Structure 1
Amino acid sequence: MRNVSIYKVLPLLVGAIVLFSGFNAASQSMGLSSKIGANKIILSLTKKGELQYRVTRRDKLIIADSPLGLACDDQNFTSGLSVVNVSPIEERREKYDLKVGNVKAIDHAFETKSVTFKNSSGALMIVDLVTGKEGVAFRYRFPDQDKKLRVINNEITGFRIEKNAKGWLQPYNKAGKYTPGYEDFYLNIHPGDSIRKPRNPSVGWCMPALFNVNDRKNWVLIAESGTDGSFPGCHLQPNSEGGLYKIAFAEKDEKYTLPLGENNNPAFNLPWTMPWRVIIIGDQAGDILLSTLITDLAPASKLDDTSWIEGGKATWSWWSHPEDHSPEIYNQFTDLAASFGFGYTLFDAGWEKADKEGGIIAKATSKGVKPMVWAYSASYFDAAKRKKKFKELAALGVKGIKIDFWCSDRQEVMACFQSLFEDAAKEHLLVNLHGVTVPRGWHRTWPNFMTAEAVLGAESYFYEPRYPDLAAEQNTILPFTRNVAGPTDYTPFALTIRKYPRLNTAVHELATAMIYTSGIIHFADSKEVFDSLPAPVRQLLKDMPASWDKTEPIVAQPGEQLIIARQKEGLSYIVGINGTNKAAPVNLNLAKYAKGFSKFRVITEGENPLMTFKTETYPLTSTWAYTLAPKGGFIIQFVKE
């Protein structure tokens, strides 16, 4: 896998970084501008030595003056700071391929700078800055080499958003039987709004957090990257007085059934490099959807050989048969995968007994279908037990594992994920995490990490009475929020009516399989539903890629409408969904996406919009006009003679 980070110090500034006393802050800029994109981050100190920053784009304010700093058990870096050194500007290039993403090949240039501060005791803290076309980022570092264990009691980092901005934020649910799991609705809010009507009691807001700022001229997504075993996953505090959203650590009681200690504060031996705080900026919402800044900042792939890692589509029996764990039902879904040319099938809970009684893994392997199996997080937390289990699964012929019910952003869990990805890779196992936090660039570092839940997906038709009414709107928000953080196991294509009846049209549900990006797409619903599909829809499911070479937003309106173009090798599609209860006109220029094709097939609502499809094929024209049904959708597939 092509995976390169290149740094080049600007020629006139080459030289060793020297720390010296009596530094004149005015003599060196603590700001950093991007050469492309006109993004800038500027650090400054108040008279009390309090560190703050602001972010601009084309000199327009994006993030107003916001605090930076850390209060530790042995040192305080929240006031009394002075500048010791400003490093030369460096150019950085990130060139790599992703196994899972909206775009396969990434090649981005950045500018970087590091500013060293000392506190009143003389202790040092470094703030690294990065700017690029897609936004800015910063992180903290402690350079001391004494291997001392340091604990952070409080991080005062904040993000000040203008009061008239529009935001889409997800409540961060407090610890419970199945929480936090990032499975709540994204709420449309204004800075300063309190959390209203969450699915579960909540203690803050999740990241990524989306805002429309600068009098609606710019879009901002606040996120994290590179979180590893040195830091917990973080969220935002619930109160945003004056529009200031502050960092909050994972809560102490986020343990579920895992053997975690009492201290939830970050703790690590020096030297210590912390995760990136990422601020993605765009002129259009579509710029946010396409951003790879989170993976750009994540560590490069740790796997030399990724040839065995292959995305794909999977059948999955749980959604349609949640209580049936019999060999017969698992084998039926293996046959279904084989008939559609899907590469995978997922055996969920109860698979061990089914395999013992019916040899379901051997059958899948004999059919050329790769089996993945479900597991419980507590069984894979201990390193020695995990490695042993992975070896046993690989020996059985298992190709991937779905590990469920983590329900924690604690530092120990973040560390477990890194070891888990590595241990799984050694046995050539793919990983799917459920009941879990959002990814933070991990699918670049560990390409065998294919997907994660951390989304209010199609299983909510079983559990959440508000879901049918809000699902379409959420489907036009999540691609700009959750899916930017990493691959999303939304489990699309849920047509059968469950406890809480679906309101989205059947085409809308089908389109979600092409709207969301996931290394392995786990399709919901039954064999009977798949068998009932018209031939063009069946063919679409057979042809549909699980990864993409190129994605382009055509209409990008979070909460309202999303239309994207997708390409993969010789395939080309346009997919659209309506997030509202009102019909929406669509006018598309097809010529741009139809090179090499002579016709286009359109899949829209059938006679019964909730359950049926209409497919029509037309000679290629330059434009196409259509009216999106309320909560509806469409799929255009370009075809050759």
Structure 2
Amino acid sequence: MKNRFIYCALSLTALNVFFLTANCLAQTKALDVQSEDHLNKITLFLSGEGRLSYNVTRRNKIIIASSPLGLSCNDQDFTSGLSVVAISPVQKKREQYELKVANNKSVDHVFESRSITLKNELGALIIMDLVAGKEGVAFRYRFHDGAKQVRSIKDELTGFHIAPNSKGWMEPYNKAGKYTPGYEDFYLNVNSGDSIFNPRNPSVGWCMPALFNVNNNKNWVLIAESGTDGSYPGCHLQPDAKGGIYRIAFAEKDEKYTLPLADKEHAYPESSLPWTMPWRTIVIGDQAGDILLSTLITDLAPASKIEDISWIEPGKAAWSWWSHPDDHSPEIYNEFTDLSASLGFKYTLFDAGWEKANREGKIIDHAIAKGVKPLVWGYSSEYFDPKKRKARFKQLAEMGVKGVKIDFWCSDRQEVMAALQSVFEDAAKEHLLIDLHGTTVPRGWQRTWPNYVTAEASLRTESYFYEPRFPEKAAEQNTVVPFTRNVAGPVDYTPFALTIRKYPRLNTAVHELATAMTYTSGIIHFADSKEVFDSLPVDVKNLFKEMPSTWDRTECIIAEPGKSLVLSRQKDALHYIVGINGTNNKLPVKLDLQKWGDGFSKFRLISEGKDRLMEFKVQTYPIKSDWSYVLVPKGGFIIQFIK
């Protein structure tokens, strides 16, 4: 009997050791996924206390160092005591699609994916989905079980550990106010772990996307999110990054100045189960240009929910507000409609005050008669209630309106994320385009809802009216935003603002013109007056007529955030090289134009005229391999290849 007891005890001990060993192997052997090219890898780790963390590597070098994961919920805790239940096989997933608004029209990317199921000490399950591709990695949390119970998340532990010697570009997340948060602050050149300094408005965190130069300056990384829907708020990063760990922060409860949102003790994420949360997206590149051209954010977003997208047409628009902010007369709106018609623009934008002008002068009918599609402005609260929104969209469509610029959202709360999805959907049913202002950044939504063609969420040319620091910093920002905010989605920068406003412009006229071709926007709303457009040289006017509003192919030639940017842009048979200088110094540029202009015999160069702030010089040259140019301070150039 004694021997049998000893045997059973030994057997049980052996069995326990077996399960313990199996669990340890499960928790250490396969909690990772690597891209098909073996460059990018994300790996999960479990501590002895069952705390979950991860790191990200490229070529086995650390990109994101050990960083925390986990969720603290109202009914369950997933921050410790976790153990592995199941590990799925690695699966290939191919994302092949086209974007209406893009640097590169066609996308064809392959991802390696894996799901890891863990349980907490009470047996509740949480799933971590991992993906890795040639442009980076991503992960998200998922609750599969729950019998439709409602769960809220009190805290998300997710962090991004950026090495202390890394520098980056980050934008302060402004505290709730009359016009904030609206993602309209400067991108600041920071060291990892820096506190927020000198923001435009009081701030409570850092915005995403956030850009860093890591791995001893050998790699660039962009931290962002994708696929946010009505089941989660828009997120930002906490203001303090102790040890370089930037942690996720939820929208603030007081972000409700412009919308009829309920008062809440907390603005925690809340959803019935099952529940799939947004992707935490980490874009990785060897060069900053790899970040600018990445489509990882749209790759992870749901595919288009609009079956027929043939009616969605990118284009250019004249816009009267910048040059005539206080003139809401029918005459001024019609003048800018006529300007659109003369330049071959598809659209004209009627900004705030257009309703009275339309009653008095039928400005919409005038635009339609001219063959120009009218876009109109609206206030966010008019589009927040579902019944009012649907009725308004239907009314506008019946009037002949083709798109709506909806302003003053100023909130990342979950209710707003849900409303935006409904805005895109309801507008699509009426074949209306959407331009959001005073709003959050896109999160891959332009793939899911291709009628979402552009958005503000950026400091732009209207700042010449309002921000005294803008003239000095504008050129620098124009060489940063294409690597940050514009990677998340199209930017309604409203380029070409030449007339001097309250805060005098320092960028050259060519720099301002070039921003129409360095930023990506489904509709380019050109600033300035009819008189300025009428004064332009013929070749510059022709550039406005021919310039595309989206691109088939883009390549980065020079990509130095905060310093300079030179892009090769192609659309059908059109081919350009466009460059801007973000500094106060002269910058020499040397290009092999025979390489970039293969198939063309000469090129037209648009550069600074005698008066750099207002004038252009246009010259034509034969193509040669060793073309040299000097970008003047805050200057630019545009090359147009000619057959």
Q: How does 1:556-571 map to 2 (within 5 A)?
A: 556-571=559-574
Q: Which residue is equivalent to 1:219?
A: 220
Give how far 1:592 is off: 2.2
Q: Which amino acid aligns with 2:337?
A: T
Q: Which residue is equivalent to 1:598?
A: 601
In the alignment of these two chains, the number of paired residues is: 621
Q: Which amino acid aligns with 2:537?
A: P
Take 2:559 and 2:534, find their aligned partners in 1: how far apart are those partners?
A: 33
Q: 1:385 aligns with which of 388, 408, 426?
A: 388
Give TM-score scaled by structure 2 length.
0.96
Q: How does 1:28-43 map to 2 (within 5 A)?
A: 28-36=29-37, 38-43=39-44
Asked whether the equivalents of residues 572 and 593 of structure 1 are also in contact (C-alpha less than 8 Å), the reply is no
| SS of match in other structure, 2:487 | helix
Give how far 1:622 is off: 2.2
Take 1:164 and 1:314, find their aligned partners in 2: how far apart are those partners?
A: 44
Q: Which residue is equivalent to 2:23?
A: 24
Take 1:312 and 1:623, find their aligned partners in 2: how far apart are those partners?
A: 35
Q: Which residue is equivalent to 1:181?
A: 182
| Cα deviation 1:309-340 (Å, max 9, x = unaligned) | 00000000000000000000000000000000
Q: Which amino acid aligns with 1:98?
A: L
Q: Which residue is equivalent to 1:57?
A: 58
Take 2:260 and 2:617, find their aligned partners in 1: how far apart are those partners?
A: 53
Give how far 1:182 is off: 0.3
Q: Which residue is equivalent to 1:544?
A: 547
Q: Which residue is equivalent to 1:284?
A: 287
Asked if residue 619 in structure 1 is aligned to residue 622 in structure 2, the reply is yes
Asked whether the equivalents of residues 258 and 410 of structure 2 are also in contact (C-alpha less than 8 Å), the reply is no
Asked whether the equivalents of residues 141 and 274 of structure 1 are also in contact (C-alpha less than 8 Å), the reply is yes
Q: How does 1:261-300 map to 2 (within 5 A)?
A: 261=262, 262=264, 263-300=266-303
| SS of match in other structure, 1:62 | strand
| SS of match in other structure, 1:552 | strand
Q: Which residue is equivalent to 1:425?
A: 428
| Cα deviation 1:25-49 (Å, max 9, x = unaligned) | 4144101111126000000001111
Give how far 1:620 is off: 1.9
Asked if residue 168 in structure 1 is aligned to residue 169 in structure 2, the reply is yes
Q: Which amino acid aligns with 2:448?
A: T
| SS of match in other structure, 1:203 | strand
| Cα deviation 1:117-157 (Å, max 9, x = unaligned) | 10011000000000000000000000114100100000010
Identity of aligned residues (%): 71
| SS of match in other structure, 1:64 | strand
Q: How does 1:410-559 map to 2 (within 5 A)?
A: 410-559=413-562
| SS of match in other structure, 1:95 | strand
Take 1:145 and 1:248, find their aligned partners in 2: how far apart are those partners?
A: 25
Take 1:592 and 1:245, find their aligned partners in 2: how far apart are those partners?
A: 42
Q: Which residue is equivalent to 2:114?
A: 113
Take 1:319 and 1:37, find their aligned partners in 2: how far apart are those partners?
A: 50
Q: Which amino acid aligns with 1:317?
A: S
| SS of match in other structure, 2:464 | helix
Give how far 1:374 is off: 0.1
Take 2:514 and 2:247, find their aligned partners in 1: how far apart are those partners?
A: 36
Take 1:531 and 1:48, find their aligned partners in 2: how far apart are those partners?
A: 71
Larger radius of gyration: 2
Give how far 1:470 is off: 0.2
| SS of match in other structure, 1:61 | strand
Asked whether the equivalents of residues 31 and 40 of structure 1 are also in contact (C-alpha less than 8 Å), the reply is yes
Q: Which residue is equivalent to 1:203?
A: 204
Q: Which amino acid aligns with 1:163?
A: P
| Cα deviation 1:192-221 (Å, max 9, x = unaligned) | 111110000000000000000000000000
Q: Which residue is equivalent to 2:5?
A: none
The alpha-carbon distance between structure 1 residues 476 and 278, as it changes in their structure 2 partners (threshold 3 A), is: same
Take 2:619 and 2:427, find their aligned partners in 1: how far apart are those partners?
A: 45
Q: Which residue is equivalent to 1:394?
A: 397
Q: Which amino acid aligns with 1:157?
A: T
Q: 2:611 aligns with which of 605, 608, 612?
A: 608
Take 1:624 and 1:489, find their aligned partners in 2: how far apart are those partners?
A: 32
Asked if residue 247 in structure 1 is aligned to residue 239 in structure 2, the reply is no
Asked whether the equivalents of residues 88 and 113 of structure 1 are also in contact (C-alpha less than 8 Å), the reply is yes
Give how far 1:555 is off: 0.3
Q: Which residue is equivalent to 1:8?
A: none
Gaps of 5+ in 2: 1-18
Give how far 1:70 is off: 0.3
Q: Which amino acid aligns with 1:638?
A: F
Q: Which moved more, 1:582-591 or 1:21-30?
A: 21-30
Asked whether the equivalents of residues 37 and 134 of structure 1 are also in contact (C-alpha less than 8 Å), the reply is no
Moved over 2 A (4+): none
Take 2:402 and 2:214, find their aligned partners in 1: how far apart are those partners?
A: 45
Asked whether the equivalents of residues 178 and 258 of structure 2 are also in contact (C-alpha less than 8 Å), the reply is no
Take 2:316 and 2:598, find their aligned partners in 1: how far apart are those partners?
A: 27
Give how far 1:257 is off: 2.6
Q: How does 1:2-17 map to 2 (within 5 A)?
A: none
Q: Which residue is equivalent to 1:14?
A: none
Q: Which amino acid aligns with 1:241?
A: K
Q: Which moved more, 1:73-82 or 1:620-629?
A: 620-629
Take 2:69 and 2:24, find their aligned partners in 1: how far apart are those partners?
A: 17
Give how far 1:589 is off: 1.0
Take 1:181 and 1:592, find their aligned partners in 2: how far apart are those partners?
A: 42
Take 1:593 and 1:328, find their aligned partners in 2: how far apart are those partners?
A: 45
Asked whether the equivalents of residues 116 and 127 of structure 1 are also in contact (C-alpha less than 8 Å), the reply is yes
Q: Which amino acid aligns with 1:486?
A: G
Q: How does 1:352-367 map to 2 (within 5 A)?
A: 352-367=355-370
Give how far 1:599 is off: 1.2
The alpha-carbon distance between structure 1 residues 365 and 37, as it changes in their structure 2 partners (threshold 3 A), is: farther
Q: Which residue is equivalent to 1:334?
A: 337
Take 2:497 and 2:68, find their aligned partners in 1: how far apart are those partners?
A: 45
| SS of match in other structure, 2:201 | coil
| SS of match in other structure, 2:78 | coil
| SS of match in other structure, 1:491 | coil
Q: Which residue is equivalent to 2:316?
A: 313
Q: How does 1:625-636 map to 2 (within 5 A)?
A: 625-636=628-639
Q: Which residue is equivalent to 1:138?
A: 139
| SS of match in other structure, 1:24 | helix
| Cα deviation 1:402-437 (Å, max 9, x = unaligned) | 000000000000000111100000000000000000
Take 2:152 and 2:131, find their aligned partners in 1: how far apart are those partners?
A: 26
Q: Which amino acid aligns with 1:213?
A: V
Gaps of 5+ in 1: 1-20
Q: How does 1:35-114 map to 2 (within 5 A)?
A: 35-36=36-37, 38-114=39-115
